[in-house]
């Protein structure tokens, strides 16, 4: 029973995202954290309320975490096509050096 629960948890937590998705997640996190930082600073400065500024920063960080950490489907729009295991190997043409084929 515990093994089944652990396996379900592992399948839910292990997600696949492609390289373009990683780039998008990094860009999204950078933009969101910068925007939240600026908004938090401006609200805290003009409102003279450090507590509100910290809450805005914490909420924005939690929102960024929720948007970038899970493997959402839009992070896997360009899946990697891996080579087949044990597929047909093509004979290399070799390296030409001084008019002779090496390897």
CB within 8 Å of 64: residues ≥ 6 apart:
28, 29, 32, 33, 36
Query: Which residue is associated with the tokens 């390296």?
Result: 95
- Cα–Cα dist 30/14, whole Å: 23
User: What residue ranges do the domains of the chain occupy?
Assistant: 2-76
DSSP SS3 for 63: helix
pLDDT tens sequence for the chain (103 residues): 888 888 887 777 777 889 999 999 999 999 999 999 999 999 999 999 999 999 999 999 999 999 999 888 899 899 888 888 876 556 666 777 777 777 6
Summarised one tens digit per residue, pLDDT across range 76-103 is 899 888 888 876 556 666 777 777 777 6
């Amino acid at each position: 029973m515990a093994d089944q629960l652990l396996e379900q948890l592992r399948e839910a937590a292990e997600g696949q995202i492609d390289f373009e998705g990683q780039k998008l997640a990094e860009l999204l996190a950078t933009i969101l954290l910068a925007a939240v930082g600026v908004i938090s600073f401006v609200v805290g400065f003009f409102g003279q309320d450090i507590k509100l500024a910290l809450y805005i920063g914490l909420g924005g960080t939690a929102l960024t975490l929720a948007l970038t950490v899970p493997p959402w489907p839009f992070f896997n729009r360009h899946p990697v096509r891996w080579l087949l295991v044990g597929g047909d190997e093509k004979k290399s043409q070799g390296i030409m050096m001084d008019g002779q084929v090496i390897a």
